[in-house]
Structure 1
């Protein structure tokens, strides 16, 4: 008695695999080309967008997500949405990194005994304090 598998393998023509491979190479070339264009903060956005398209192509065709049960596609989509949400919140931090107050050097206590030298006026060692 032979067992019949309820799952069916999805054998795709070689033409599809080659087309997806060429698309991945083209997207990689576009990513490299765009990196030389000064877009400011949008360089990261463009690179992430292209990387997302490449990941989608790999998931749909090489992982056969396009031809599998739809629940797997839903799980994949929800995971990608959460990843995009986390990356978006992380990108908010990159816009605010320069807002930290600059520390200025100032003596801790000008007349502290630790700063008194042998018979000479030694300068007070600098410390870090917040500006006024």
Structure 2
């Protein structure tokens, strides 16, 4: 619980900072870490088989690729 509370506080602090385009990326990384903590600890992913862990890792990598491609698209748009 304490880790989730600390990450939530960190999210609020980062959202208040002026980091430009990196603020969204930082908040998304913190949210991904919080999601991983919930899955691993509270949903007992640490007790599952290696196949389930592999599927989880592949899903996280795919999500990271999609988010990265989205940021690439946004950064190269002409306004």
* Shared fold per TM-score greater than 0.5: yes
Q: Which one has the bigger strand percentage?
A: 1
Gaps in structure 1 of 5+ consecutive residues: 1-20, 101-132
| RMSD between aligned residues | 1.0
With normalisation by structure 2, the TM-score equals 0.93
Alignment of 1:117-132 (within 5 A): none
Which 4+ residue blocks in structure 1 deviate beyond 2 angstroms? none
> Which one has the largest radius of gyration?
1
- Which structure is richer in relative contact order (CA contacts within 8 A, separation 6 or more)? 2
Gaps in structure 2 of 5+ consecutive residues: none
How far, CA to CA, are the matches of 1:59 and 1:66 in structure 2? 9
With normalisation by structure 1, the TM-score equals 0.57
How far, CA to CA, are the matches of 1:80 and 1:73 in structure 2? 11
